[in-house]
């Protein structure tokens, strides 16, 4: 079955420290992977995507993600966290075959403390 897992419900990090939000996936064929961020009572905002090419993908607001095929992971990273990065983060994978269906992880809440 095709799926996405975000193993951490919450990640806590001090402002200025590096952050990592984890994501693993299971999909048939080549994976198309996405990260989104959601602020309270708002829609999801697209951060970055991996389709093919360089394993390190750079996105919005200083975020980047590392694709690791052997570990089937796509972890979101940022070198220096800001308090304003505190939000809910979703990893998603496109289901192979058919239309542009995305499967979302359950989300990871990032809390950046001053």
What are the residues binding another protein (CB under 8 A)? Answer: 9, 32, 34, 36, 41-46, 49, 51, 90, 94, 99-102, 104-107
Closest CA to 7 of 113, 79, 96, 89: 89
Q: Smallest gap, in angstroms, from Cβ of residue 104 to another protein? A: 4
Closest C-alpha to 88, from 47, 38, 51: 38
Instruction: Give whichever of 43 and 114 is closer to another protein, judged by the CB atom.
Output: 43
Smallest separation, CB 114 to another protein (Å)? 26
How far is residue 4's CA from residue 75's CA, in Å, rounded to a whole number?
A: 12
Q: What is the CB neighbour count within 10 angstroms for residue 77?
A: 15
User: Pick from 98, 104, 86, 87: which is nearest to 33 by CA?
Assistant: 104
* Nearest residue (CB) to another protein, 46 versus 80: 46
Choose between 15 and 72: whose C-beta lies nearer to another protein.
Answer: 72
Work out how close the CB of 83 gets to another protein at its nearest, in angstroms, rounded to a whole number: 22
Q: Which is nearer to another protein, 14 or 51 (CB)?
A: 51
Q: What backbone phi and psi angles, to 5 degrees, belong to 86?
A: -60, 120
């Amino acid at each position: 079955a095709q799926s996405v897992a975000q193993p951490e419900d919450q990640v806590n990090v001090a402002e200025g420290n590096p952050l990592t939000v984890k994501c693993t996936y299971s999909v048939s064929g080549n994976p198309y992977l996405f990260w989104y961020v959601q602020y309270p009572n708002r829609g999801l905002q697209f951060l970055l995507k991996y389709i093919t090419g360089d394993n390190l993908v750079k996105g919005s607001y200083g975020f980047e993600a590392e694709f690791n095929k052997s570990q089937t992971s796509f972890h979101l990273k940022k070198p220096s966290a800001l308090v304003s990065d505190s939000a809910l983060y979703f990893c998603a994978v496109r289901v192979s075959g058919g239309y542009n269906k995305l499967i979302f992880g359950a989300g990871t809440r990032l809390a950046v403390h001053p």
